[in-house]
A = this chain, B = another copy of it.
Amino acid sequence: MIIVMEENASEPQIRTVTERLIELGFDIHRSTGERYTILGAVGSRPADERDFELMEGVHEVIRVSAPYKLASRAFHPEGTRIKIRDVEIGGDNVVVMAGPCTVESKEQVETVAAEVSKLGVKVLRGGAFKPRTSPYSFQGLGEPGLKLLREAADRNGMLTISEIMESSQIPMFLKYVDILQVGARNMQNFNLLRDLAKLAKPILLKRGPAATIEETLLSAEYLMAGGNHQVIICERGIKTFETYTRNTLDISAIPVIKKLSHLPVVADPSHGTGRRDKVPPMARAAVAAGADGLLIEVHNCPEKALCDGAQSLLPEQFSRLMGQLRMIAPAIERTVD
Q: What's the dominant secondary structure at chain A's contact region?
A: mixed
Say yes or no for A51: interface residue by CB 8 A criterion. Answer: yes
For window 183-223 of A, CB contacts with B under 8 Å fall at 185-186, 188-192, 208-210, 212-215, 218, 221-222
Kindly supply a per-residue 1/0 record for chain A positions 319-332, scoring 1 wherever the CB is within 8 Å of any chain B CB and 0 otherwise: 00000110110111
Nearest Cβ on chain B to A277's Cβ, whole angstroms: 7
A327 — which chain B residues lie within 8 A by C-beta?
Answer: 327-328, 330-331
Nearest Cβ on chain B to A15's Cβ, whole angstroms: 15
A166 to B242, alpha carbons, bound, how many Å?
28
Nearest Cβ on chain B to A322's Cβ, whole angstroms: 11
Contact A308 B133 (CB under 8 A): no
Contact A284 B273 (CB under 8 A): no
Nearest Cβ on chain B to A108's Cβ, whole angstroms: 16
Say yes or no for A76: interface residue by CB 8 A criterion. Answer: no
Nearest Cβ on chain B to A78's Cβ, whole angstroms: 15
Contact B137 A46 (CB under 8 A): yes
A49 to B335, alpha carbons, bound, how many Å?
37
Candidate in A133, A243, A253, A254 with the most chain B CB atoms within 10 angstroms:
A133
Nearest Cβ on chain B to A45's Cβ, whole angstroms: 9
Say yes or no for A121: interface residue by CB 8 A criterion. Answer: no
A281 — which chain B residues lie within 8 A by C-beta?
Answer: 251-252, 254-255, 288-290
A53 to B137, alpha carbons, bound, how many Å?
19
Say yes or no for A170: interface residue by CB 8 A criterion. Answer: no
Contact A252 B278 (CB under 8 A): yes
Our pick among B68, B252, B302 for the contact of A282 (Cβ within 8 Å) is B252
- In the complex formed, the residue of B with least CB distance to A138 is B46
